[in-house]
Amino acid sequence: MALQSSLFRGDPQLEAAAQLDSAHVTPGSRGPHVGKIQRALIELEGARLTPDEAYGPATAAAVLSYKQKRSIINPAYQTQADNIVGKLTIASLDREMFARENVPPPFPPQPPPPPEPPGPVPHLNLSFAMTDPSIYVTIEGSVTTGTAPARKAIDPGTFLRPGKTAWLDLSPVTGKTARFKVEKKGSIFWVIVFVPDGTAISHVLHVFFHPTPVQVYPDKKGLPPVPHVIADDKTYVSWGNDWRDLAQRYLNVMAPQLGAAKKIPLLIPMMRNAAAQSSNASNDVFADRPLETLYEIIKLAREKMMNLPADAPALPLSMQHVNIGTSSFSSGIAYHAHLFDAIRGHGSYLEAIDLDSTYITIAHPDISQVKGGPTIKRHTQRNGLPSLPNAVHFPPPRWDAKSPMAPSGVEKIDSPPSTGRVHHLIAEYTFFGAIQNSLLPTR
């Protein structure tokens, strides 16, 4: 694609650099095209450069700084940024210059409006421009219409009732599914979006965080547990078959339960292994400007995936009135905690649901009502943990087919099931009840 900014457009050497690896602009280069790169760095980064058209040490350092801030690397052969202007770098500079060149002119001065009574002080960390041009969200492939398979779920009315818990048979749920490509700061992220048929509102969303794609379990009974790569980080950007399979796995579990409970969009960010093990999680899609990212995703989902009725509310112009719910289980709590801490001060964040992350430790300290913010709900297999009013306990005896507390009307379950199996059963059979009792509105 040809360069778009007026600064770069039509320059033969820069156009070539955007297309050919052999045309990279490297330290030691000279010419008008180098001067244009210098001008872009001065404009975008405030780089202290003289546009002398010579790619010397100062220019190389400015290029390196620009790429490091945006994590511009080629994952095929790099692990860190360099000081060369190649295809990814020239494309990023061109996009940002084009956006800056096309900012609409300011309106002529108007008389000041009458003073308004003072309102609440805004949360500085949550202020953002909804049209941030450096976040690009597109649909990869096409929107598909399909059916989420029938599932069983525990009747939420029997979560706390003494005696047997009752089972429900959930009917298949039809809806639209798409894979969203999120690009920002030179990185690519993937988010699976499911919209149940009948969804009549677009300013409500639920985000489910799947466990890390590196699972630890024994190869054979009695052997020590070992890590197994379910989906490899190396194939993340190219969306390898392992990531496709992982996405379908959690879509098949969560989509029918959500669609049977409430007609609202479901977002499943496909998150890499390192994000579960790093408090910074730079490769987590929500590590950088989470609210802006959520807004761009839901805006595109409304446009391409929702057949809303004529009287459906319009999408608000900011996230201030977009209601958010989140959930996770197992090691997905790490990603969940990153988003929780980033947006818990936002008034539209209504609830955070933990589907047995307490299996890993005690009540997860990173998602705590003590911090303030959304209502926290927990499902756990451990009696007495956590000591919160919104906790529901599903210890192993409740799943034992011979126990008076076991669910009724279900295929045979281990007697009693293993701790690890209960861990997965909670997410697979109680998410329906969590969503049915969700604080998220449907109108």
Q: What is the mean pLDDT of residues 403-417?
A: 61
**Across 90-101, average pLDDT:** 91
Q: How confident is the model at residue 201 (pLDDT cuts 50, 70, 90)?
A: confident
Residue 153 has pLDDT above 80, yes or no: yes
Res 385 pLDDT > 60: no
What is the average per-residue pLDDT within 209-233? Answer: 84
Q: How many other CB atoms are found less than 10 A from the CB of residue 372?
A: 8
CATH architecture observed for domain 12-101 = Orthogonal Bundle (1.10)
pLDDT digits (tens, 9 = 90+) for 334-364: 888 889 988 998 888 999 999 988 665 554 6
pLDDT at residue 327, rounded to an integer: 95
Could you tell me which residue, 197 or 187, shows the higher pLDDT?
197
CA distance 395 to 423: 9
Q: What is the per-residue pLDDT for 247? A: 94
pLDDT value of residue 322: 87
- How many angstroms separate the CA atoms of 48 and 245, rounded? 48
User: Which residues lie below 8 Å from residue 219, measured CB to CB, with a gap of 6+?
Assistant: 226
Could you tell me which residue, 180 or 428, shows the higher pLDDT?
A: 180
Closest CA to 145 of 183, 172, 182: 172
Q: What is the pLDDT of residue 57?
A: 92
Question: Residue 405: its pLDDT value, please?
Answer: 59
- 103: how many CB neighbours lie within 10 A of its CB? 8
* Whole-angstrom distance, CA of residue 372 vs CA of residue 354: 16
Please give the average per-residue pLDDT across 294-319, as a whole number: 86
pLDDT tens-digit readout, 66-77? 999 999 998 888
pLDDT at 279: 56
Per-residue model confidence (pLDDT) at position 230: 87
- Model's pTM, two decimal places? 0.68
Q: Tell me the mean pLDDT in the region 92-101.
A: 90
Q: How confident is the model at residue 278 (pLDDT cuts 50, 70, 90)?
A: low
Q: How confident is the model at residue 127 (pLDDT cuts 50, 70, 90)?
A: very low
Average pLDDT of the segment spanning 7-11 = 92
- pLDDT tens-digit series, residues 242-272: 999 999 999 999 999 999 999 999 999 998 8
pLDDT-derived band at 12, boundaries 50, 70, 90: very high
Residue type, 5: S
Instruction: Say if residue 299's pLDDT is above 70.
Output: yes
| Lowest-confidence pick of 2-16, 156-170, 336-350 | 156-170
Look at residue 383 and tell me whether its pLDDT is greater than 80. no
Whole-angstrom Cα distance, residue 4 to residue 97?
A: 9
Mean pLDDT for all residues in the chain: 83
d(CA 310, CA 307): 9
Give the pLDDT score at 126: 40
When pLDDT is averaged across residues 79-92 and rounded to a whole number, the result is 92
